[in-house]
Amino acid sequence: MNKQRGFSLLEILIAFSILALSLGILLKIFSAGVNTASVAEEYTTAVQIAESLMAQTGVETPLQQGETSGVENERYHWLVSVSPFTPSIENFDPATSAVLLFKVYVMVTWGDDQASDRRVELTTLRLVNKTL
């Protein structure tokens, strides 16, 4: 009796097909993770820029009505808008108030084209003593 041992050609082809599918799935998962990490890094940078601009407003730059814009790191376009804010509180009279309230809006955008631009927006309120 002559019994041959080993794998047939069909078994080897099936094993290679399973291996190729597994490697393809693993590479797709890995590239998606790298892409997600890259997007997260961009958002982190944009938030840091926006927070920095917000902290500067009223300290390094005067807190007055208007808009300023610029570019950071040749990629992130920013806009800072300062406008007067009147709260909708009953019995609030801005004329008798000792402070002025300003709304500070910061927007940072980045991306390759206008259709797929990413954006971070921050808004806060700032107080300024009224000059009498």
What's the average pLDDT block by block, 10 residues per block, for the chain (132 residues)?
74 93 93 89 94 91 89 92 83 70 93 80 88 62
At residue 2, the 3 state secondary structure works out as: coil
Strands 66-72 and 118-129, how do they pair?
unpaired
Does pTM surpass 0.75? no
What per-residue confidence (pLDDT) applies to 114? 67
Residue 77, C-beta contacts closer than 8 angstroms, at least 6 positions apart: 69, 70, 71, 108, 109, 110
**pLDDT at site 111:** 84
At 22-56, the pLDDT tens digits run 999 999 998 888 889 988 999 999 999 999 999 99
What is the residue extent of each domain of the chain?
Answer: 9-129
Nearest to 75 by CA among 123, 104, 32, 117: 117
C-alpha dihedral sign at 83, 87, 88, 92: negative
